[in-house]
Amino acid sequence: MLTDTQAPQTYTVRQLPVVEWERLEGLPFASQGLPSPDLTVIFVAETAEGAIVGLWSAMTAVHLDGLWIAEAHQGTTIAGRLLRAMKTFLQTHGITVSFTVVSDPEVMILAHKAGFTRVPGDLWMLHRPPLEAMT
């Protein structure tokens, strides 16, 4: 919000080339390190002087989904064995961060015990039709 003493500024929004990503160090976005440039695009808003004053990234994230165990086989070793297989796969392929959606409180306890950490915020989805569908 502008106060009476602030003049409107001109901002430039652009995709930040990977060679400039070190400029993000020290910003909240990079507090856990920078994401893989092979899987990420970062847009920044800069002042006329070139200071980064906003950013938004799009990352290809690994989403773990579809864990299911037939009711008659729940309480067996299946969940643990599937977890170990998935962790091995992720590690073998160099995937260090992955996400899953958990809504059941009992599953939240199991996820925590399995090494998952709850992240702040709520999951929201933006659905965009393919460009050719918009013409």
pTM equals: 0.69
What residues contact 76, with CB distance under 8 A and at least 6 apart? 69
Q: What is the pLDDT of residue 128?
A: 87
* pLDDT tens, residue by residue, 50-92: 999 999 999 998 999 989 999 999 999 999 999 999 999 999 9
As a whole number of angstroms, the distance between CA 13 and CA 16 comes to 9
The answer to whether 34 touches 24, Cβ cutoff 8 Å, is: yes
* Residue that has been written with the tokens 């008659």 in this structure: 72
- Tell me the pLDDT band of 5, cut-offs 50, 70 and 90: low
Q: What is the pLDDT of residue 3?
A: 58
Residues in the chain: 135
Residue 134 has pLDDT above 70, yes or no: no
- Tell me the pLDDT band of 120, cut-offs 50, 70 and 90: confident
The counts of H helices and E strands in the chain are 2, 5
* pLDDT tens, residue by residue, 91-107: 999 888 899 999 999 88
Identify the three-state secondary structure at position 24: helix
Q: Name the percent of the chain lying above pLDDT 90.
A: 64
- Tell me the pLDDT band of 130, cut-offs 50, 70 and 90: confident
